[in-house]
Structure 1
Amino acid sequence: MTHYIAIVEDAGPDHAIGVWFPDLPGCFSAGDNIDEALRNAPEALELYLEDFIAERKPLPPARTLTELRNDPEVAEDIKNYMVALIELPTRAHAAE
């Protein structure tokens, strides 16, 4: 099963909790609390990958946490925010 690492940003009580995927530019989700944001993340992942799946293009590779920590564009976010593994939804596995 493929999992993508998500960055979970909590900007405080007056803001939604944001979830974004370093390996999938432009793929993001949110929720009023962490649980809701994480429940919404797989749907965002599936919607983002819909074109890849429909056109049978290879999915963008999912990097490991170690690889992301070594990426200077992501390393600071990993230090400052939570990370979560989001499983690729079952319907999307057909494109793998």
Structure 2
Amino acid sequence: MMAGYLALVHKDAGTSYGVSFPDVPGCVSAGDTLEEALANAAEALGGHLALLATDGDSVPSPRSFEALRADASLADEFEDAVVSFVQPHATASAA
């Protein structure tokens, strides 16, 4: 079973839901609804991790909620965020 990652979901008035992964820099996604944003995030995460592996780059290990909250460099990202757990979708190259 693939590990999942904690995702931060943000939503400002008049915008789509945005999703980012503190443990996977550069992997972001969005959607018009929360459900769509999280589904898109699972697909983006799966693709991002597959590309890292294909390129021979290390795949980051997911940290616990407590470890992420204790990371002072993420304080601004946690502000007004909803935290969700996202398991990456397997991609064709990763299957």
Query: Does TM-score exceed 0.5, indicating one fold?
Result: yes
Residue aligned with 2:8, SS: strand
What is the CA RMSD across the aligned residues, in angstroms? 2.0
Residue aligned with 1:52, SS: helix
Structure-2 residue corresponding to 1:5: 6
- So what's the TM-score if we normalise by structure 2? 0.83
Identity rate, percent: 37
**CA distance in 1: counterparts of 2:55 and 2:26, whole angstroms:** 19
Unaligned stretches of 5+ residues in structure 1 = none
**CA distance in 1: counterparts of 2:67 and 2:55, whole angstroms:** 28
Unaligned stretches of 5+ residues in structure 2 = none
Q: State how 1:1-96 maps to structure 2 within 5 Å.
A: 1-12=2-13, 14-55=14-55, 57-90=57-90
**CA distance in 2: counterparts of 1:91 and 1:30, whole angstroms:** 19
Note if contact 1:68-1:75 (Cα within 8 Å) is conserved in structure 2.
Answer: no
Letter in 2 for 1:7: L
**CA distance in 1: counterparts of 2:24 and 2:57, whole angstroms:** 14
Residue aligned with 1:73, SS: helix
Moved beyond 3 Å, runs of 4+:
55-58
- So what's the TM-score if we normalise by structure 1? 0.82
Offset at residue 55 of structure 1 (A) = 4.4
